[in-house]
């Protein structure tokens, strides 16, 4: 990266009029930000790469035609995003997410062994906008959340989980699992920094693996259809 023609290797303060140039290797340029898994006249399902914002995927797709934003994934979470391709589909998808008629399952690699092979966790999530994070509590502050998990595999000091979101709040999976003492491997915001460094994990091991749609009129043909990410942990 260069700022005003000068190579920089650390954080710098930018000022109005500064020129920033970012250089990538041919290998980096060849990397895709997403893969299209499904597309018809109403919806498009993309498999997002880790390190790419949902907004960047949307902007790229928008260049190819009419697209409408439905939901987001954290930048370092990879996996499924669904977009609408017309206003009617947008309305039905937004209603389905709002009314919890969309089932969302994730894969998460966490530190430690779970106390139970499966459980549903309930708590409250409070947003801390100033620090761009959320805080979990059981004292009733904020919005009620519910997160289910199932142990898929124990891998030494880590455990692979299938996680189901019953409420889709900001950073819910990462913060909720960290709250019970099992942070997601590679999570720098809510995780264990020392353990992350020991495993050389710089991005959270979290995949939006399954997305199942429910209901709808225009999208009735997709009722019960499950989309699967090609990503694994």
Instruction: Specify whether the CB–CB gap between 161 and 176 falls below 8 A.
Output: no
Q: How far apart are CA 73 and CA 95, in angstroms?
A: 18
Residue of 18, 47, 74, 128 marked active site: 74
Which residues are within 8 A (CB) of 7 and not within 5 positions of it... i.e. 6 or more apart? Answer: 1
CA–CA distance, 219 with 45 (Å, rounded to integer) = 14
- Smallest CA-to-CA distance from 144 within 130, 124, 127, 164 is with 124
Backbone φ and ψ of 55, nearest 5°:
-65, -35
The Cα–Cα gap between 34 and 38 comes to: 12
187 is catalytic: no
Dump strand ranges (E) for the chain: 2-3, 6-7, 20-21, 34-39, 43-48, 78-84, 103-111, 118-128, 133-137, 143-155, 158-165, 206-212, 226-228
- What amino acid positions are annotated as catalytic residues? 74
């Amino acid at each position: 990266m260069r700022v005003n023609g000068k190579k920089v290797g650390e954080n710098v303060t930018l000022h109005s009029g500064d020129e920033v140039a970012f250089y990538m290797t041919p290998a980096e340029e060849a990397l895709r930000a997403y893969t299209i898994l499904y597309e018809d006249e109403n919806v498009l399902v993309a498999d997002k790469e880790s390190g790419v914002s949902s907004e960047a995927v949307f902007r790229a797709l928008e260049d190819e035609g009419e697209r409408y934003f439905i939901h987001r994934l954290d930048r370092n979470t990879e996996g499924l995003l669904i977009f609408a391709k017309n206003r009617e589909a947008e309305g039905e998808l937004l209603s389905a997410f709002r009314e919890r008629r969309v089932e969302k399952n994730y894969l998460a690699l966490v530190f430690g062994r779970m106390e139970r092979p499966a459980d549903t966790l309930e708590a409250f999530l409070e947003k801390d906008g100033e620090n761009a994070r959320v805080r979990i509590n059981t004292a009733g502050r904020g919005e009620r959340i519910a997160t289910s998990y199932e142990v898929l595999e124990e891998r030494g000091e880590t455990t692979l989980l299938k996680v189901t979101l019953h409420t889709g709040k900001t950073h819910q999976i990462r913060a909720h699992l960290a709250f019970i003492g099992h942070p997601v491997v590679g999570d720098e915001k809510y995780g264990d920094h020392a353990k992350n460094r020991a495993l050389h994990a710089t991005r959270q091991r979290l995949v939006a693996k399954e997305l199942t749609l429910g209901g709808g009129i225009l999208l009735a043909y997709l009722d019960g259809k499950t989309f699967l990410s090609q990503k694994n942990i």
